[in-house]
Amino acid sequence: MKKLKSLFSRSKQPSFETLIKGEQEKLYKIAYTYVRNEQDALDVVQDAIIKGYNHFDKLKNLDYFSTWMTRILINTALDAVKRKKDVVYLDQDRFDDKVTKDPPFTQQIDLLEELNHLKPEQKTLVILRFYYGYSIKELAELLKKPEGTIKSQLHRTLNELKKKLGEGGEQYGKAWSKY
């Protein structure tokens, strides 16, 4: 009954359905970066939306709806990753000959591989900061940490990625050639 009253009391404000429609694509992209599978990403988004709907009456300021839903989604995605940690998906495109001839794509694969080796908190920081363009202040609000902590964690994570990717390997130590 409390939920019903809260939904009627917000009649002048946008409904949950209206707000979530503007967030769906972003939520799916974030979920996909965690689970790396279309169906699992859709499941994560669905679970996050259900959780958000069930607790929508607890959201005091609708200006934070996007941040609030993103946080719910990240937690749901991390839970899904923990549940499916033993499952390894094979992406056939990575082994296709025509794809592996392109050095920039190979570098993207390396970056994705290294992102997958990061701790979940580190991966969240990098994805939200550089893929979705969240500011340091927004990250601090979203993750409920001081800005200085976010900056230092991001700095350490980027140094770790730089070190791993900077070492390169046989292919990156030499000029790339088809011959």
Q: Say if residue 61's pLDDT is above 50.
A: yes
| pTM higher than 0.85 | no
pLDDT 10s digits, 79-134:
888 887 644 444 545 444 444 444 454 555 566 777 778 888 888 888 888 888 88
Token pair 């699992």: residue: 40
Q: What is the pLDDT of residue 109?
A: 58
DSSP the chain: -HHHHHHHHTTTSPPHHHHHHTTHHHHHHHHHHHH-SHHHHHHHHHHHHHHHHHTGGG---GGGHHHHHHHHHHHHHHHHHHHTTT-----GGGG-HHHHT-HHHHHHHHHHHHHHHS-HHHHHHHIIIIIS---HHHHHHHHT--HHHHHHHHHHHHHHHHHHHHH--TTTSS-----
What is the fold, at CATH topology level, of the domain defined by 2-83? Rna Polymerase Sigma Factor; Chain: A (1.10.1740)
Q: What is the pLDDT of residue 165?
A: 76
Q: What is the mean pLDDT of residues 136-149?
A: 90
Q: What is the pLDDT of residue 178?
A: 41
Domain 92-167 top-level CATH class:
mainly alpha
Q: Say if residue 25's pLDDT is above 60.
A: yes
Least confident range of 48-52, 116-120, 174-178: 174-178
Q: Say if residue 14's pLDDT is above 80.
A: yes
Domain segments of the chain: what residues? Answer: 2-83, 92-167
Q: Can you tell me the distance from the alpha carbon of 155 to that of 143, in angstroms, rounded to the nearest whole number?
A: 16
Same fold, 2-83 and 92-167: no
